[in-house]
Amino acid sequence: MMTFEEFILGARNAGASDIHLSVDREPVFRVNGDLKKLEGLSDIPVTKRLLISLLSAEQEEQFNLGNDIDFVFELKDGSRQRANLYRQMGKLACAIRLLNREVPTLQEMGLPPLLAEISLKRSGLVLCTGVTGSGKTTTLSIMINHINKNRPCHIITLEDPVEYRYKSDLATIHQREIGRDVKNFDAALRSALREDPDVIFVGEMRDYETIQLAITAAETGHLVLATLHTRGAIHTINRIVDACPPHIQKQVLVQLSQILECVISQSLLPKREGKGRIAVLEILLGTDAVKNMIRQEKTFQLESVMQQNRAIGMCLMDDIILDYYLKNIISRESALHYSTDRLEMENRIKKMR
C-alpha cells in the first residue's frame, strides 16, 4: 500500500494539476484540464481518517464547528499543495491543487515579456483575472519574483493561503497569511499601508472594502497587484464598479482612470493531443486613451482600442485563441469552446481556412 506522500508524488508525475478526494469514492485527477482516473492511483482507499490527518489540531477544531478549511501542506521534498476540506452528503471531501515547487519564469510559462515591464512599474494597479484554476496567482507570482530579482524594495503579500514561498533577493519580502497572520484582507491592507511597502500583492479582491483599500494603496504611490474572479479585461472594470455602492461609482471610475496600469485576463487551454496546457492572455493597458474612456464611462469602446493597439501589447482573448489555432497549438474544438463569442469565432475560422 502506497503512502499518501507517494500518492501525491504519483499524481505530480502523471501531470495532474488537481486531485478530488471523497470518502468511499475513488480519487479523480485533473490532467490538462479534464477530470480522469489514473491507473495505479485511483485505487487508494479514501477514508475520513486520511482526510482529517491532513489538518492541524486547530484546523480540525474549526472543521468540527462546521467550517470548510483552506490550508497548504508540504511534502518532505518541499513541494506544496493547496487544499480545501469540505463536507458533501454528510461525508468528507477534499480538493487539492498541486502547486509548482518553485515560481516559474515568464519564458517557462510562455508569457509575454511585456509583463516584466509592467511588474517594474513604481505605482498603480495591476489586475490579473480569470476563473478558478486559470493560473492567475502563478502569473502574479512570476511578476513578484521578477520584482524581487530586479528592484530593491519592500514587498508585502496578503494571501489565503500562502501558495509560493519567496526567497528575498534584491527585495525584502514579507508574506502574510489570512486567518493565521492577520484576520482578513481588509485588516491586512490597512496594516500594510503602515508597514512601509513599495509593492502589495492582494490574493483576491473579494468585496467593496478590499477593492477600496487596494485603490487607496495604489493612489498613495504603491504598486498593487491583485486577482479578481472575472472573465475579460473590460468586464473586470465593470465588475469593480458594480461592487461599489451606487453613490460612489462615478468616483471609483475616476480613481481607476488615474491608477490603472494593466488588466490581464487569463485562461488555460489544452494543447493539441494532450500535450499540456497553454496560457492565453487578454491584456488591457492603462494608456491615456483607455483612462479617458474609463473616466467618461465609455468602457464599451475599450474593445476597439485594444484591437487597434496590439503593436504595444494590448490584445483580445479571441484574437490570441485564433492565433494559437492557426499555429496548430490548440484544436478547433478548444478554440470554439473557450472563445468569448463562439459564432464569431466559427466565422473567423471559416474565413481563414
Nearest 5°: the CA angle 79, 83, 87 is 155
Secondary structure element (H or E) that encloses residue 222, with its range: none
pLDDT score for 11: 96
Write down the residue that cell numbers 464598479 correspond to: 241
DSSP β-ladder status, 80-88 and 69-74: antiparallel
Confidence of residue 353 (pLDDT cuts 50, 70, 90): low
Write down the residue that cell numbers 508574506 correspond to: 175
Instruction: Give the mean model confidence (pLDDT) for residues 297-306.
Output: 95
Q: Which three cell numbers stand for residue 14?
A: 502523471
Cα–Cα distance between 150 and 169 in angstroms, integer? 8
* pLDDT tens digits for range 105-136: 999 988 999 999 999 999 999 999 999 889 99
- DSSP result, 11-61: HHHTTEEEEEEETTS--EEEETTEEE--TTTTTSPP-HHHHHTTS-HHHHH
Cα–Cα distance between 98 and 336 in angstroms, integer? 28
pTM (predicted TM-score): 0.90
pLDDT at 268 over 90: yes
Residues paired with residue 95 on neighbouring β-strands, in sequence order: 20, 84
Cα–Cα distance between 190 and 27 in angstroms, integer? 41
- Residue 48, Cβ density class (10 Å: 0-12 exposed, 13-18 middle, ≥19 buried): exposed
Three-state secondary-structure class, residue 347:
helix
